[in-house]
A = this chain, B = another copy of it.
Amino acid sequence: MVTTLDLIVGCHPQASCLACRTRDHSICAYCRPEELRQIEAMRFFRSFEPRQTIVMDGEVPDFVGTVLTGTVSLTKIMPDGRIQMVAMLRPGNFLGHPYRAKSSYNAVASTSVVMCGFRRKPFERLLRKIPELGQGLLEQSSNELDAARDWMLLLGRKTAREKVASFLIIFAREKVTQDPSLMKKQIYLDLPYTRAEIGDFLGLSLETVSRQFSAFKDDSVVDPDGKRGVTVVDYPALLAETGNDADGGWLA
């Protein structure tokens, strides 16, 4: 029997991880069929609704896992309520730190999310048995570190305009790398965030985010639809507004 979840995930839970669409971009990338079978025996799927919190800051999560579909956002909150987003996990990315007890951030599903999870302790055992998993985990961690550092440059030194351009480029580039011909066409993006959340992402108020969107619209660079949709009208122009040189950063 094929369930909705199966369709979303792209494989039947009882089928092999071999069929998993996101495997190549996940911690399982280096695993061979033999190891995948061991992993398969312990994994389970969990799905989350938009705005549902997955892990709370300070909490000891009993599960870790890979995002299969949707977007998970990691945020930090100051005692007085100021919020900063500190990571955006997309399909293939891993949530949780093995060997670490408390979480140091909130993890919230920004869209509908399906994850391939493991209970923490058994996963740690698995990790000791399968060094390839460790390599995958290290690679994930290094990628996130790179992203975090690009993000730090953005937060510390970029103008509001550059921040918003950089934000949009992250999503646009994802599509452009899939289909390079898009670079010269219009690119429609369905952002997983509200203006307020984009503000939390960029260290801006929601009003300035909105104003920058309007400014780019006036300059015929992007065309927001008043909701979460934006179409990038002039990709090269937008890229030039980020303050980076051509290939700069993120998931580069």
**Stretch of A134-142, A170-178, A186-194 with 4 or more beta carbons under 8 angstroms from chain B:** A134-142
Q: Are B144 and A86 in contact (CB under 8 A)?
A: no
A-B pairs with lowest CB-CB distance, top 7: A156-B203, A155-B155, A86-B149, A148-B148, A141-B141, A84-B156, A84-B153
A22 to chain B, nearest CB (A): 20
Complex copy number for this chain? 2
- A167 proximal to B (CB < 8 A): no
Query: Can you list 22 A-B pairs with a CB-CB distance of less than 8 A?
Result: A76-B150, A78-B153, A78-B158, A78-B243, A78-B244, A80-B243, A82-B243, A83-B157, A84-B152, A84-B156, A87-B149, A97-B142, A104-B150, A104-B249, A131-B134, A137-B138, A148-B148, A151-B152, A152-B152, A155-B155, A155-B203, A156-B202
Q: Which residues of A does B touch, CB under 8 Å?
A: 74, 76, 78-80, 82-84, 86-87, 97, 99-100, 104-105, 131, 134-135, 137-139, 141-142, 144-146, 148-153, 155-158, 202-203, 243-245, 249
